[in-house]
Amino acid sequence: MAKKDHVSETPATQLLKANKVVFSEHPYEYLEHGGAQHSAQVLGFDPFTVVKTLIMQDQDAKPLVVLMHGNRKVSTKSLARQIGAKSVEPCQPDVANRHSGYLVGGTSPFGTRRAMPVYVEASILELPKILINGGRRGYLVGIDPQVCMSLLAAKPVQCALAD
């Protein structure tokens, strides 16, 4: 019999399992607009190790994914400069949902509806383990951050602003 706190499969967990990625499951009570800071607090993790999945777009409305520390903001100017875009801005929630196939607050970079370039804050890759959304609100998975490189072909960038 399945453990009570096991969360049902998501496109993200299916992708991780299909690629034999070892991950831990961390369900928590989702709080609207609580973000990574809230999930880190209730799960007892450092928000620096909880990674947000942000769906953004460039000046041509082409979507991209940014993985950022839970307690940092993205410098969109710095990001745009590093990826050769004129500008980058967050997508509206309904647009982000359409691109990713997930609901904002439950967006995972794994198993998105459409393939998008993924950019990861470089310092995330130095962590031994990260918590990242597992494809639904109130559900994080713990993985080795190198999985973002191997599975998502993420490109490291440096665009973090202190929160």
Q: State how many domains the chain has.
A: 1
Domain membership flag for residue 4 = no
**Sequential pLDDT tens for the chain (163 residues):** 334 455 679 999 999 999 999 999 999 999 998 999 999 999 999 999 999 999 999 999 999 999 999 999 999 999 999 999 999 999 999 999 999 999 999 999 999 999 999 999 999 999 999 999 999 999 999 999 999 999 999 999 999 997 6
- Which pTM does this prediction carry? 0.94
Domain presence at residue 156:
yes
Residue 3 lies in a domain: no
**Residue whose C-alpha is closest to residue 156's, from 131, 134, 127, 136:** 127
Q: Is residue 151 part of a domain?
A: yes
- CATH number, domain containing residue 46: 3.90.960.10
Give the strand pairing for 160-162 and 155-157. unpaired
Is residue 103 assigned to a domain?
A: yes
Q: How far apart are CA 85 and CA 152, in angstroms?
A: 20
Domain that residue 80 falls in: 11-162
